[in-house]
Amino acid sequence: MSTAIRSGTAATSPRPPHAPHVIPLRRLLSDVRRGGALGFLDSAGRQSQGSITRMNVGPFRPFLVTHPRDLEHVLRAHAENYPRGAAMWSALGRLTGGGIGGEGNQWQASREILQSAFSARYLAAMSEQMITSVSGAVDDLGTRVGPGRPIDAGLEMTRMVQRVINPVFFGNLVPDEEGDRLGAAIATAMGSLLWRMAMPFVPHRVPMPGDRAFHRSTRTVNEILRPVITAARKGPRDGDDVVTRLLNGTGAGGESLTDEQICDDIVALFVAGSESSAIALTWVWVALAQNPEVYARVQEEVDRVVGGGRPRREHIRQLTYTNQMLNEVLRIYSVGWAVPRMATADDVIGGVPIPAGSTLVISPYLTHRVEDVWERPLEFDPDRFTRERVRARHPLAYLPFGDGGHQCLGQHFFSQEASLIVATLLTRYRVGLHGAPVEPRLSLTLQPRESVELELVPR
């Protein structure tokens, strides 16, 4: 690799003060006209190439921070100066509340409660349940597979993810069909917030596109979750599911969590763990179809490790190349493509003055394409994630799950879930794309522009 530096702060001296690279408004508008939002983002990345860049979007002038050494400053060394206080989080907070999706003491309390639910010990204990859930979901998929009957990858990956997370979140309190309805309502509510995120200055009393869908969807969420929480409160509270853990936990002041707080935390976990996981798994099949040599190596490993039966617990760690492939999918197709932060006090990052009140945009999508960190960054190469090459890179060169105090709790859960889904499908089917090549688009997440259709041929 082009860099063998493990720690940005230990290996670099302070850079002299200088103004940021600036992308003028006319250039931004030209990029948007030519390539849409994704074209603009790609152009910003090519122009900045890791340098701190200011984007002049009228009165909105955020700093783009993409180099690992600067991310270390923001997310680790001076994280207290850069909370999640920008427009995106304000709008999203209407859905996810102030617990695990927020900041401050209540966020810390929720995180401490939930960390144990995603620990390595808990995932090991849950592996058999996950294997059973995935196998059942693939059995169910088999009823919809046939010659000339392509499947919708996004829909089917969502179903599989829901089958896995449903018992983890709710134990046996929510039937699969209700879990699907809950996931769909949360996804709709998320999508409806796009206008509010884009124009946070508009008062809530002023109607905007998406408002009706948001209110309708959140009513559905409450109709499903509130009775579940009530039933769990009356139960023995001796389970390992997320609802039980939240009921047994305490808030920032030592008090029990309210139904509203529990509901908010579950919704926040759904946002992070359901829709994002399903999108990432959809991109897996696109990447394998576009890189047949990678597909062949993954298939060979699955056949060698798993054989013709269903995966077992010990297979998860043995699927080394499969997990490297999943990591590379998350690098190329960074589902959470941008994360804003707010500077609460004046600061200097890499020699660039950052005034208090400035918005910083952290973009994993662009960090994963910085050329002095990643060789041939646009090439799909799972061998980037061999143990030796990972150790040689800056720890913040790769951040599909974020970093710092707000790093996603579910990263190991996703890795286990995704490897089981890929391995189970590949033991039973040859999977290929049906139809035209798939292009990405930017929304709240990096999604396929059109529905991804797959052809599954029994092996």
What confidence tens digit (pLDDT) does each residue in 81-126 have?
999 866 667 777 888 888 888 888 888 889 999 988 888 888 888 9
Per-residue pLDDT at 70 exceeds 70: yes
77: pLDDT confidence band, cut at 50, 70 and 90? Answer: very high
Predicted local distance difference test score (pLDDT) of residue 24: 72
Q: How confident is the model at residue 413 (pLDDT cuts 50, 70, 90)?
A: very high
CA distances from 97 to 105, 118, 312 (A): 13, 21, 38
Q: How confident is the model at residue 20 (pLDDT cuts 50, 70, 90)?
A: confident
Average pLDDT, the chain: 90
Percent of the chain with pLDDT over 90: 66
Q: Is the pLDDT of residue 18 over 80?
A: no
Specify the CATH number for 8-458; select among 2.40.70.10, 1.10.630.10, 3.40.190.10, 1.25.40.10.
1.10.630.10
Strand (E) or helix (H) holding 281? helix 276-290
pLDDT value of position 431: 97
The pLDDT value recorded for residue 85 is 67
pLDDT at position 54 over 50 = yes
Indicate whether 11 pLDDT > 50: no
Q: Which residue has the higher pLDDT, 424 or 45?
A: 424
What tokens does 59 get?
Answer: 């009165």
Q: Return the structure tokens found at 57.
A: 């979007």
Top-confidence residue, 199 or 280: 280
CA-atom Rg of the chain in angstroms: 22
* 25-34, 129-138, 255-264, 415-424: the lowest-pLDDT one: 25-34
**How confident is the model over 138-154, as a mean pLDDT?**
92
pLDDT at position 86: 62
Sign of CA dihedral 222, 228, 234, 239: negative
Q: Give the three-state DSSP class for 185.
A: helix
Bridge partners of residue 168, in order along the sequence: none
Q: Where are the domains positioned within the chain?
A: 8-458
| Contact predicate 328/380, CB 8 Å | yes
- pLDDT tens-digit map of 283-305: 999 999 999 999 999 999 999 99
Q: What is the pLDDT of residue 13?
A: 54
Which tokens sit at 352?
A: 């660039």
Report H helices in 53-173: 68-72, 87-96, 104-115, 120-142, 153-170
Instruction: Calculate mean pLDDT across residues 328-334.
Output: 98
Which pLDDT value is given to residue 4? 36
Tell me the average pLDDT across 311-339. Answer: 97
Q: Cα separations (Å) of 71 from 129, 239, 388, 405?
A: 37, 39, 22, 13
Q: Flag whether pLDDT at 16 surpasses 80.
A: no
Token duo for residue 159 = 């179903």
Query: What six digits make up the tokens of 419?
Result: 């490897």
